[in-house]
């Protein structure tokens, strides 16, 4: 268990406590030991979870309709390269990938060859469409415990167990602005906010599309969600114990889309749209894409219909997953938000 050993060593060296964000960074992204940084199967039927681009081509072909016309696409966190594989065939544009995992970068290189350019960091000035599908939910989050004794930060001790300390600094300032009734535990995505702000600042012209599961702040910090949204995925089973298999399973938190929209505005971007994945895909013309499939050939059509069901059904990805777009005003209006834009809910 190299990840467990390495994390315990770091906790000991830090005096017996690290923040949960640091724990999540090590367990997911640390080179050599992290879940995303190692050779685990992760994606697909044989892995731990399936993302929209891994289901088939419907998601990518529909998204392509929104992305047509941008001269460059920058995909953040490209996973197995499934979406890049499809979009580079559908669209005639430059395609850049920023991927933090060396192992996944290598898999993407093998699959995509010279069709994409890998970049190590965001350029200071960026033009084009940026896409991040199921990337923000994998970003480390801080945990806050609003208790009868004040606002505490929930971290990890040397027994890999929860341990609370008074929250300080930026975390405390953000937590103080969130109105919940104690006792209440939830996540605050400080790193996602900083990431969005930097991304928005670097965007000279274009749009950033964040696609992920989550809610506006009012629903995120709802009284009924008093133990937060943290979840682990191992072999298609979800559970709530992030200490069970560090480095061997996915740990995620839902995305607070209000916080991302605020961070984008603070970075100088405008809010271009926010809606459910189902509404976005319908607006982009998923029914036209479906109609191109041959419904008379049941063998061919059945998996495509099942894919559409998974992407659109409110009981599957259609409602829990959202699409947020921010960027420069000259990109508006975007077809994906033509009907049912929920920007006012953020």
Ligand X SMILES: C[S@@+](CC[C@H](N)C(=O)[O-])C[C@H]1O[C@@H](n2cnc3c(N)ncnc32)[C@H](O)[C@@H]1O
Q: Rule CB under 6 A: which residues touch ligand X?
A: 36, 51, 53-54, 76-79, 82, 98-101, 104, 133-135, 138-139
Give min distance, CB of 35 to ligand X, in A: 9
Give min distance, CB of 223 to ligand X, in A: 29
CA distances from 194 to 26, 197, 289 (A): 19, 5, 36
Please list the residues that pair with 231 across neighbouring strands.
252
Give min distance, CB of 240 to ligand X, in A: 18
Which C-beta is closer to ligand X: that of 106 or that of 204?
A: 106
257-273 core/surface letters (b: 16 or more CB in 10 A; e: else)? bbbbbbbbeebebbbbb
Which C-beta is closer to ligand X: that of 86 or that of 207?
A: 86
Give min distance, CB of 5 to ligand X, in A: 22
Give min distance, CB of 321 to ligand X, in A: 11
Cα within 13 Å of Cα(222), Cβ side: 9
Give min distance, CB of 183 to ligand X, in A: 31
Class of residue 316 by CB neighbours under 10 A (exposed 0-12, middle 13-18, buried 19+):
middle
Length of the chain in terms of residues written: 346
Which C-beta is closer to ligand X: that of 76 or that of 185?
A: 76
Specify whether the CB–CB gap between 6 and 26 falls below 8 A. Answer: yes
Which C-beta is closer to ligand X: that of 134 or that of 249?
A: 134
DSSP state of 181: P
Give min distance, CB of 140 to ligand X, in A: 9
Going along 99-230, which residue ranges are E strands? 117-119, 126-133, 142-147, 150-157, 162-166, 184-188, 203-215
- Closest-CB residue for ligand X? 77
Helices 20-29 & 2-13, crossing angle to 10 degrees?
150
Which C-beta is closer to ligand X: that of 107 or that of 205?
A: 107
Which C-beta is closer to ligand X: that of 121 or that of 177?
A: 121
Tokens of 128: 């084009």
Which C-beta is closer to ligand X: that of 36 or that of 209?
A: 36
CB within 8 A of 33, min separation 6: which ones? 2, 3, 6, 26, 27, 247
Give min distance, CB of 158 to ligand X, in A: 27
Provide φ and ψ at 203, rounded to 5°: -80, 110
Give the per-residue SS3 of 5-61.
HHHHHHHHHCCCEEEHHHHHHHHHHCCCCCCCCCCCCCECCCCCECCHHHHCCHHHH
Which C-beta is closer to ligand X: that of 167 or that of 281?
A: 281
Which C-beta is closer to ligand X: that of 37 or that of 151?
A: 37
Distance CA 57, CA 344 (A): 31
Give min distance, CB of 105 to ligand X, in A: 9
């Amino acid at each position: 268990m190299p990840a467990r050993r390495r994390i315990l060593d770091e906790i000991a060296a830090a005096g017996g406590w690290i923040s949960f964000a640091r724990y999540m960074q090590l367990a997911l992204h640390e080179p050599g030991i992290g879940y995303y940084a190692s050779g685990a199967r992760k994606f697909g039927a044989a892995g731990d979870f399936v993302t929209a681009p891994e289901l088939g081509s419907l998601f990518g072909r529909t998204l392509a309709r929104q992305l047509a016309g941008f001269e460059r696409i920058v995909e953040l966190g490209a996973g197995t390269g499934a979406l890049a594989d499809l979009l580079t065939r559908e669209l005639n544009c430059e395609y850049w990938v920023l991927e933090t995992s060396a192992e996944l970068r290598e898999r993407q290189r093998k699959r995509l060859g010279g069709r994409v350019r890998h970049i190590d960091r965001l350029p200071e000035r960026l033009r084009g469409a940026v896409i991040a599908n199921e990337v923000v939910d994998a970003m480390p989050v801080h945990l806050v415990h609003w208790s009868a004794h004040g606002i505490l930060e929930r971290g990890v001790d040397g027994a890999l167990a929860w341990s609370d300390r008074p929250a300080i600094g930026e975390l405390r300032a953000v937590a103080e602005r969130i109105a919940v009734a104690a006792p209440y535990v939830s996540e605050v995505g400080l790193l996602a906010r900083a990431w969005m702000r930097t991304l928005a600042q670097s965007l000279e012209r274009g749009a950033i599309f964040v696609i992920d599961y989550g809610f506006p702040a009012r629903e995120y910090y709802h009284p009924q969600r008093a133990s937060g949204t943290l979840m682990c995925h191992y072999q298609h089973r979800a559970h709530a114990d992030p200490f069970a298999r560090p480095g061997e399973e996915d740990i995620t938190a839902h995305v607070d889309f209000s916080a991302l929209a605020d961070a984008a505005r603070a970075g100088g971007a405008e809010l271009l749209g926010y809606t459910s994945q189902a509404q976005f895909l319908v607006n982009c013309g998923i029914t036209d894409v479906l109609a191109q499939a041959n419904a008379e050939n049941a063998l061919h059509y059945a998996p495509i219909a099942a894919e559409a069901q998974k992407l659109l059904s409110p009981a599957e990805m259609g409602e829990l997953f959202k699409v947020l777009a921010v960027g420069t005003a000259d990109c508006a209006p975007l077809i994906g938000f033509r009907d049912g834009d929920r920007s006012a809910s953020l």
